[in-house]
Structure 1
Amino acid sequence: MAWRRTRSAVRRPARHGRHGREGRSPVVRPPLPPLDTRVDRFDLAVTTAAEFLRSAWPELRDVRFEVADMPPAADAEGIPRWKVLADERRIILYRLPIERLSHLHRNDDLHRRMMVESCVFRAAAEYLDRDPWDLGPERFRYF
């Protein structure tokens, strides 16, 4: 006669997991805080400045403001910060030259944002063939 080992039905308490371990974590992790990277902050600054300009200047309502990392090549004046393509109704802002080649007198979030906004204003002014200060003089009155 062969000896057989029989399993007895052992009831586990409800607090145990599938394999008898306690304290199993939930399947879904808790929500993580939103990412706040330099790229996100740059995109937000460009978007808010572009929306302000579109609301103030009807000529800019159909213009696309785009962000690229680097220009394809340097030109005779150096590394461009933006490129205006009036026939295509596009303004391309180059993130890395704006962030890394700008000389800020104070390196904090406010001054970095102001640098990005000033580049958006100068690119839009070049598109409209106007002075950048004419585009939104009331925007800078708090300084």
Structure 2
Amino acid sequence: MAWRRTRSTETARRRAPRHGRHGREGRSPVVRPPLPPLDTRVERFDLAVGTAAEFLRSAWPELREVSFEIADMPQAADEDGIPRWTVLSDAKRIIVYRLPIERLSHLHRDDELHRRMMVESCVFRAAAEYLDRDPWDLGPERFRFL
């Protein structure tokens, strides 16, 4: 059986546009309908620290130059145990440690809201330590009940 080459000028049978080069239909996406993007614990922690830090920067001009950073674990434990944050006043840095906050915090209700409140409270307490103030002084006046 001889193999015959067709010329481009010859009329070739045209495939429908939905077919690929091998004559099969196009493949559909693997996941249908599209799923929402994955939301990890690390991303939720970063978001909670970032929003709390931006709130504090907008409320306290002394914190506008401070760098809020996130690390997984501290280098070593101190006499009080494993620290949740480190304040470096000379370098204008506050380092918040993710793993001690997430794993060593005792929440009375283990849900997303209470985990976020725990992260935000640690950011507020670290900022209060940086400013040498009480954490309750950092909130705006409208949240105080006298």
Q: Which of 89, 97, 106 is residue 94 of structure 1 equivalent to?
A: 97
- 2:2 alignment partner in structure 1: 4
- Superposed CA RMSD in Å reads 2.6
Q: Which residue of 1 aligns with 2:19?
A: 16
Percent of pairs with identical residues: 83
CA distance in 2, matches of 1:38, 1:75: 26
Aligned-residue offset at 1:141: 5.7
Task: Measure, in 1, the Cα distance between the counterparts of 2:120 and 2:101.
Answer: 10
1:19 CA drift (Å): 1.4
Identify if the C-alpha distance between structure 1 residues 40 and 139 changes in structure 2 by more than 3 Å, giving closer, same or farther. Answer: farther
* 1:129 is aligned to 2:132: yes
Instruction: Describe the superposition over 1:7-61 as per-residue Cα deviations: whole angstroms up to 9, x where unpaired.
Output: 67751421321112223347xx997633311111111111111111111111101
User: Which residues of 2 match residues 26-105 of structure 1 at below 5 A?
Assistant: 33-105=36-108
* 4+ residue segments displaced more than 4 Å: 7-10, 29-32, 137-142
Contact preservation (8 Å) 2:128, 2:134: yes
State the TM-score, normalizing by the size of structure 2: 0.83
Cα distance, 1:138 vs. partner? 4.7
Pair 1:118 & 2:121 matched: yes
Task: Tell me which amino acid in the other structure corresponds to 2:15.
Answer: P
Unaligned residue ranges in structure 2 (runs of 5+): none
Structure 1: 5+ residue runs without aligned partners? none
Instruction: Provide the aligned length of Structure 1 versus Structure 2.
Output: 138
CA deviations on 1:46-92 (whole Å, 9 max, x unpaired) are: 11111111111111010000000011111121100000000000000
